[in-house]
Amino acid sequence: MSLIQIRSARAALSAAIAALWLTPAYPHAVCGDRIFPATLAIDDPGVQDELALPTVSWVPNNSDGAHEWDASFSWTKTITPGLSVVISDGPTWTHPGGYGWNALDTELQWQALCIPDAEFMFKVGFDISWAGTGTGVLAGSGGQNTYSPLVDGGLGFGWLPPALKYLRPFAITGEFSTSSPGQDWTGGVPNVTTFNWGFTLQYSLPYFNSQLASIDNDFLKRLVPVAEFAFQTPIHNGGPAGVTTTGYFQPGVIYEADKWQVALEAMVPMTGATGHGVGVIGQLDFYLDDIPNRIDEPIFPHGVGIAPGI
Amino acid sequence: MRTNILKIATSLAFALAATSAFAHAQLEKATPPVGGTVASASEIRLEFSEGVEPKFTKVSLTGPGGAVPLAAARTEPSNQAVLIVPITKALAAGAYTVHWHAVSVDTHHTQGTFEFTVKP
């Protein structure tokens, strides 16, 4: 394979990863006593009406050694109480490189299960990144659709015994998916299939305040310190394309208001192929189901799709 | 284009500004305090982040002697986010558990549990 082809493959993979980074639905989720906040790298396990606008990130040196800015929106619309459609997109700036919009991304999500006493819930989804919808420097990066079946789960620890009660505000969430391009090769360039995996560890001070001990400080009692880990591992065509596992560790904090939240996290590269230097990502997220408007309720509020426990 | 963006931003701002009474009701403060110790208690006072429907909001109290009888819940006349549940008998010393299940005025469900202690 020529150097140009390898660079093209890497550019396509970078675009796919960038698109993947931008596409989670980010809805907050309620199961039993637990409210899972929206997190930035790992989608949370709930299906709600939601608008993440904007999500902005910056990394000093991406996998190609370029400065990179990304901005995006993600709108989740419920069709029934447990079924939703997500639409996501946004631009990317790289230097050197240029500017372009990522491929349009849509996702169908279904709330499969909630066990309130266990504070456990998960959803399944299917994501499509649509070919031909990128622009600028990203116009040619998606010659075919990319398909991503996914699972997102979350578990709170409110069920721990009294002796461990100060661990009850902890929760973990995780995400597993694969991203498969519609063709293995395009014009002699390998298209890489990746396994995307990661998890979050979070400690909810709102949970602490309402379940364990009162927190008098109004700002502090709305914070959720969080650590996210998100990776992409090539599972097909990675060798020919010359790509390896990439991923970030993202420590940060989420501030939860009643109808919105704001999150700020550092982006620490976890492998040499990911890039170098610490970046930053922030997001403003609106809980549309908590905001009275014409679009805050499911289109079919009594339809199918309600998971057990919801 | 600029006009359209302005219209969208204005609509979003109005939508968000007109939202003071609708959301998941989260417990912000309680009396007796969450995890606290009191000399006595004649009522349970729950302050939520949003208004709640007292008819559909359930509160239970259990202590050393089992379930404690409670009177009907009501909200403060001036503040629908404050739920008051009178306790109909004097509480003996010991640890008590409050379990609440709230329905906010826009029908969202939330729930939670906390403990407090009545000192001897």
Distance between CA atoms of residues A12 and A207, nearest Å = 42
Residue A200 CA, chain-centre distance (Å), reads 11
Q: Is residue B68 part of a domain?
A: yes
- Residue matched to tokens 């398909």: A147
Q: Does B99 touch chain A (CB under 8 A)?
A: no
DSSP state of A218: T
Q: Does A260 touch chain B (CB under 8 A)?
A: yes
What chain A holds in terms of domains, given with CATH numbers, is 3-290 (2.40.160.40)
pLDDT along chain B (120 residues), means of 10: 48 40 78 96 95 94 96 95 96 97 86 96
Write the CB contacts of A97 (distance below 8 Å, at least 6 apart in sequence): A64, A66, A68, A137
Q: Supply the pLDDT for residue A300.
A: 65
All residues of chain A having their beta carbon less than 8 Å from the beta carbon of residue B110 are 30, 35
Q: Is residue B9 part of a domain?
A: no
How many domains does chain B divide into?
1
pLDDT along chain A (310 residues), means of 10: 46 46 49 94 92 95 94 94 94 95 96 96 97 87 87 98 96 97 88 96 97 96 97 92 92 93 97 95 88 59 54
Name the phi and psi angles at A147, rounded to 5.
Answer: -110, 135
Q: Is residue B102 part of a domain?
A: yes
ipTM field: 0.81
Q: Is residue B5 part of a domain?
A: no
Picking from B23, B35, B112, the nearest residue to A33 by CB comes out as B112
Contact A48, A75 (CB under 8 A): no
**Residues shown for chain A:** 310
Q: Which amino acid is at A48?
A: Q
Which token pair is A110? 């279904």
**How far are the Cα atoms of B38, B44, B62, B95 from residue B58, in angstroms, in the given order?**
23, 12, 14, 20
Q: Supply the pLDDT for residue B107.
A: 79
Domain holding B98, by residue range, is 21-118
Q: Looking at the complex, report in whole angstroms how far the Cα of residue A222 sits from the nearest Cα belonging to chain B.
A: 10
Q: Is residue B94 part of a domain?
A: yes
Q: Supply the pLDDT for residue A238.
A: 86
Q: Supply the pLDDT for residue A154.
A: 98
CB contacts under 8 A, A 283-302 vs B, are 286-287, 289-293
All residues of chain A having their beta carbon less than 8 Å from the beta carbon of residue B35 are 212-214
Q: Is residue B29 part of a domain?
A: yes
**Helix segments in B57-112, DSSP class H:** none
Q: Does A282 touch chain B (CB under 8 A)?
A: no
Distance between CA atoms of residues A67 and A283, nearest Å = 19
Nearest chain A residue to B106, by CA:
A290
Q: Is residue B6 part of a domain?
A: no
Contact A128, A108 (CB under 8 A): no
Distance between CA atoms of residues A68 and A185, nearest Å = 27
Q: Supply the pLDDT for residue A239.
A: 83
Q: Is residue B13 part of a domain?
A: no
The answer to whether the CB atoms of B22 and A293 lie below 8 A apart is: no
The answer to whether the CB atoms of B34 and A213 lie below 8 A apart is: yes
**Helix segments in chain B, DSSP class H:** 2-17
Q: Does B76 touch chain A (CB under 8 A)?
A: no
Q: Supply the pLDDT for residue A23.
A: 36
Name the phi and psi angles at B23, rounded to 5.
Answer: 180, 175
We report the CATH number of the domain holding residue B36 as 2.60.40.1220
